[in-house]
Structures are given as C-alpha cells and as structure tokens.
Structure 1
Amino acid sequence: MKKFLKQIVFGVFIFVLINLIILVIYEYPAYKAIKNKTHKNYLKWNDIHTNKNKYDLVILGSSRSYTAFNPEIIDKYLNLKSYNMGTSAQDIAESYYSLKEILDYQNPKYVVLEFYFETSDNSHDFYQIFSNASFFNSTKHKFDLITDGYGEKGVRNYILPLLKFNNYIKQDFVALLSNKSEKRKSDKWIKGYLYDTTTVTANKIKSFDPIGNLETTSFNEERFVNFFSKIEDLAAANNIKLIYIRTPYPPSRVAKTIKTDESDYYNKFSSEKQIPYYDFNSYKDYKYLDTDFTDYHHLNYRGAEKASKQLIETIKEN
C-alpha cells in the first residue's frame, strides 16, 4: 500500500514539474515582451485602458482582421478615431468579453465584428485566448470568459499549462525534427493593425486548399447564435452600431471552393436577422490578387489598403 501511495505521489510530482517547466518555457517570452513593452496584446489593451473614450470605431476579430484594417487609412477618410482590437485566433466568446472590457473604457459609435467559421467552432487556441484576457483589468470579465465562454474545458486549460500549450509543443517538436527555422521579421503595428510587407510565394499559392465548409470545419451554430445575440444585446444597450464583415480570401482559394457554405450561411443568417453584413470577397467589386496576401488568408499591406477602403464604404452606408 505504501509503495502504491509513493508511486502516486511521485507521479503527481512529475506531472506538476512538467507543467511548471512548460509554463516557464512558454510564458517567459511573453513576460519578457511585456517587460520590454513589445507584447502586441499588452500594447493594445494599454491603449484602450489609458486613452479613455478616445475611439469612435473598434474592430474585433481574429488575425484576419488585425492584418486587414489599417486605422490610419480609415481615419484619413472618415471623421472618426478607430482602433483595431483583433487578436490571434479570437473566438466569438472572446470577442464578446473583449467588448465588455472595452466598454468599461471606451464609448464607440461603431463596432466591426469579423465572421468566419473558425471564430465559432469547437476548436480553441486557449493560449491565445488567455493571453488576450490576461490584460483585462476586470477580474469578473476574465472569470466569466473562462467559465461561461468555455466551461469545464476552459477551466482545465487555464489551470494546466500542458493542455494550454499542447498545440505549440507539437509544432515546436515537428520544427525541431524538420530542422527548419524561419527568421522572424520585425513587426510594425499601427493602432492595433499589423502592417505586413510579406507576399505569399507562388509555391504556396499552388498548395492553397478550398475555403472551409460545414463538413471540413467544426463550426458550432448554437455557440455562434448564442454569443452573437449577447454581442447584439450589449451593443444595443450602449447605442452602438454593429457592422458584420467577412474578410477576403485569396482568389485562388475562392476559385477552388465548390461548397460555399460559409458565405451562404452568413448571407442567409444576416438576411433573416436583417443585420448589416458585408462579404469583402464580393462587396463593392474590389478585386483582390493572391499577391495581396501573406499566406492562405491574411492580407498584407496592399490588401489591407483595399479592405480598409471597403470598410470605409460600409461605415458611410451606416
């Protein structure tokens, strides 16, 4: 019996030790970036928290939004002050609680919310989610995001680094075995927008997959409708005009896509709800090139200029 208990204690000790080692390895770069004031989420939330009631327009969504909309261009053509609060892998629940945190410090007239199936699916990047929420000043918003947004799964991932960093551990292990390392370019951020000068290569364009659909993604309609309704209620209570958009994809991916479930779903949903929804793959006939992208779905600075001008058009309409 004593031997069995010792084995259990030893197993628990090893498990805790592994989690602590992983925590140090993966959290230290973020700690260092915060200390050096180069952490993008830290800088974004610092701007929101310290510039009270400064921004008229706030953009929410994933990295597809923070690479697509340049506030400098938007502010140049509109009598507004805008800020891009898109964050990596931002889930719709994360967008909702981010908006709650933003409204504690800002009083925007417009909120732009980006849609695509992966922002409302059953797969969550908890490292990115908790990285964003870690800069909330409100403990309640953080707690509600974890428990209401993600339930028991959220709590487990919040407590256990081994779960939270699981995907990143796998990626690093694969990269180590492949012996490939890419030199990271320096980032240029403009009011939350990533000004990226990268252009996707011809070889990567050839390997593009079709846009995801209901069969190839884990889109969760119940989850989408639930948090969409919460965002709408929150906006209505604060007299905010909501504008919903779908950022563009490279034309090569659009051409390969036979099942247009994502586009069809949001068009039908917006029509039934009678909400302003704009698909930037077709809105105002802006022509995108594959070379307007850095990869299979992120815009570079040339593409962002087009998308920002499209967004200006939607604001004028509203």
Structure 2
Amino acid sequence: MKKFLKQFALGLLVFIILNTIIAIIYEYPTYKSVKNKTNRNYLKWEAIHNNKNTFDLILIGTSRCYASFNPIIIDSVLNTNSYNMATSAQDIAETYYSLQEIFEYQNPKYIVLDMFFEASDESYDYYQTFSNSSFFNSKKRQLNLIYEGYGNTGILNYSIPVVKFKNYIKQDIAGILSKNKSLRKEDNWIKGYLYDTTIVSDTQISNYEPIANFSTSSFSRDRFNTYFNKIQALVSSNNAKLICVRTAYPPTRLELTDPDDEAIFFDSYLAEQQVPFFDLNTYKDDQYLYNDKDFADYHHLNYKGAKKASMQLVEALKQTKNN
C-alpha cells in the first residue's frame, strides 16, 4: 500500500510539474501581449467595452471573416462605423456568447455572420475559444460558455493545460521537424481586420485540396441548428438584422470540389430560415472575380482579396437595405 501511495504521489507531482511548465510556455506569451497591449483579442474587446454604443455594424465569425472584411472600406462607402469581431477558430457556441457580450455594450443595426462548416464541427480549439472569452467582462458568461457550450469536456480542457494545449504541442513538435516554415504574419490590424500582404505560393496552390464536405468534415447539423437559432433569436431581440455570408475560397479549390456541400447546405438552410445569405464565391462574380493570388493561404484572403470581399459585402448590405 505504501509503495502504491508513493508511486501515486510521484505521478501526481510529475503531472503537476508538467502542467505548470506547459502553462508557462503557452500562457506567458498571452499574458505578455496583454500587458504590452498587443494581444489582438484583448484589443478587440477593449474597443467593444470602451466605446459604448459606437458600432452599428459588427462582423463576426472565424479567421476567414477577419481576413476578408476591412471596416475602413465598408465604412467609407456606407457611412457606417463597423468593427470586425471575428477570431481564430471561432466556434458557433463561442459566437453566440460573444454576441451576448457585444450586445451588452453595443447597439448595432447589423450583424454579419461568417458561415463555415468548421465553425460547427465536433472538433474544438479550446485554447482559442477560452483565450477569446477570457476578455469577456462577464465572468458568468465565460463560465456559461465553458460548461453549457462544451460540458464536462470543456471544464477539463479549461482546467488542465496539457489537455487544452495538446494540439499546439503537436503542431510545435511537427514544426520543429518540418522544413516548411510559415511566412504569414498577423501583426497589422485595422478595426479587428487583418491586413495581410502575404501571397500564396505556386507550390501551395499545387497542393490545394477540395473544400471540406459532409464526408470529410465533422460538421454537426444539430449543433449548428441549435446555436444558429439562439443567435437568430438574440439578434432579433436586440432589434438588429442578421446577414450571413460565406467568404471566398481560391478558385482552384472550388474547381476541385464536387459537390460543394457547404454552399448547398447553407444556401438551402438560410433560405428556409428567411435569413439573407450571400456566398461571395458566386455573388456578383461578374464584377468581383477572385484568383488564387488573392489569398494568403488555402482559405484566407490577403489585402487584395479583402478589397473585393469588402466591396461585395457593401453591395450585399445595400441590397438588404433596399429589400
């Protein structure tokens, strides 16, 4: 029995030390960036919290959204005051609770929501979600997201660093072994939008794969439906209008994709819900034609592509206003 207790105590000590080391390695850069006021999520929430009832147009969703829509371009045409609140790997539950927080401080007329299968799949990037929600002023809301959004698994990932950061640990190990280093930088932000000058390489284009569909993704229709209905009700109760968009993909990837389940599903679902939906891969494509070099990688627009996407959204908002 004593031997077992010693082994258990030693194992527990190793576990605590390992988690402490991982927490320091992965949490310290966030702590430092917040202290230096360079953390992008911190700055986004500071804009929302410190400029009450200022923004009349909020853009929200994943990194595909924050790479696509430049508020400066949109505002210059529509005379709005918009802000891009999209964040990396934003999950649809995270979107819902983020909008709760936003509506507590802002009174926007429009919410533009990015539609993306991976935002409603069964694979969650807990670190990104919890990092974003850590800047909510409402700690109750943050805890609701953790428990109601993800249940016991969410609590486990929130509490234990080695579990929370497991995907990043794997990526870092793979990065050490890989000769291919990412050249993409994310340091030029304009009202929540990433101004990215990276241009995808020909080698990357040659390695493009089809867009994820029902068989190659873990997209959950039930989960999407549950949280979309909550988002729709929340937006409506705050007297705002919900507009959904699907941001652009490189043409080469679209050519490889048959059928395009993402486009078909969202078009059908949102028509049923009577929610305005604009797929930027096809909307006014006679005026706004994308090419592969409008992208920074396999699904993020660079600044050239974002000019087109921002103007497409301007046209979509004008159309919505006139209907």
Shorter-chain TM band: over 0.9
Q: Secondary structure at the match of 1:283?
A: coil
| Residues 293 and 110 (structure 1), Cα distance of their counterparts in 2 relative to 1, 3 Å cut | same
Q: How does 1:1-16 map to 2 (within 5 A)?
A: 1-16=1-16
Residue of structure 2 equivalent to 1:172: 172
Give distance in 1, aligned partners of 2:122 and 2:241.
28
Cα distance in 2, alignment partners of residues 211 and 117 from structure 1:
10
Deviation at 1:179, TM superposition (A): 5.6
Aligned partner of 1:58 in structure 2 is 58
Residue 181 of structure 1: CA displacement? 4.5
Residue 182 and residue 273 in structure 1: after superposition, are their counterparts in 2 closer, same or farther (change >3 A)? closer
Question: What is the match of residue 189 of structure 2?
Answer: 189
Counterpart in 2 of 1:291? 293
Could you tell me whether the CA contact under 8 Å between 2:62 and 2:91 is conserved in 1?
Answer: yes
Match of 2:306 among 289, 293, 304: 304
For 1:209 and 1:195, the matched residues in 2 are separated by: 25
Structure 1 unmatched ranges of 5 or more: none
Matched residue, 1:125: 125
Map 1:3-82 → 2, pairs under 5 A: 3-82=3-82
Structure 2 counterparts to residues 194-205 of structure 1, below 5 A: 194-205=194-205
User: Alpha-carbon deviations, 1:187-215, whole Å to 9, x = none?
Assistant: 11000000000000011001000000000
CA distance in structure 1 between the partners assigned to 2:316 and 2:117 by the alignment: 22
Write the letter of the residue equivalent to 1:79: N
Aligned residue identity for 2:115? F
Residues 79 and 180 of structure 1: is their aligned pair in 2 closer, same or farther, counting only changes over 3 Å? closer
Q: Aligned in 2, Cα 1:124/1:186: closer, same or farther, shift over 3 Å?
A: closer
Alignment partner, residue 268 of structure 2: 268
After TM superposition, give the deviation of residue 155 of structure 1 in Å: 0.6
Q: For the structure 1 residues 180 and 267, does the alpha-carbon distance in structure 2 shift closer, same or farther, using more than 3 Å as the test?
A: closer
State the secondary structure of the residue aligned to 1:284.
coil
2-structure distance, mates of 1:259, 1:184: 30
- Structure 1 runs of 4+ aligned residues shifted over 2 Å read 177-186
TM-score w.r.t. the length of structure 2 is 0.96
1:250-261 matches, cutoff 5 A: 250-261=250-261
Which digits, 9 at most, give the CA deviation of each residue in 1:40-82, with x for residues without a partner? 0011000110011000000000000000000000000002100
**What secondary structure does 1:59 align onto?**
strand
- Corresponding position of 2:112: 112
Number of equivalenced pairs:
318
Q: Flag the 1:279–1:186 CA change in 2: closer, same or farther, 3 A.
A: closer
How far 1:183 moved relative to its partner? 5.7
Query: Paired residue for 2:216?
Result: 216
- The whole-number CA distance in structure 2 between the counterparts of 1:183 and 1:201 is 11
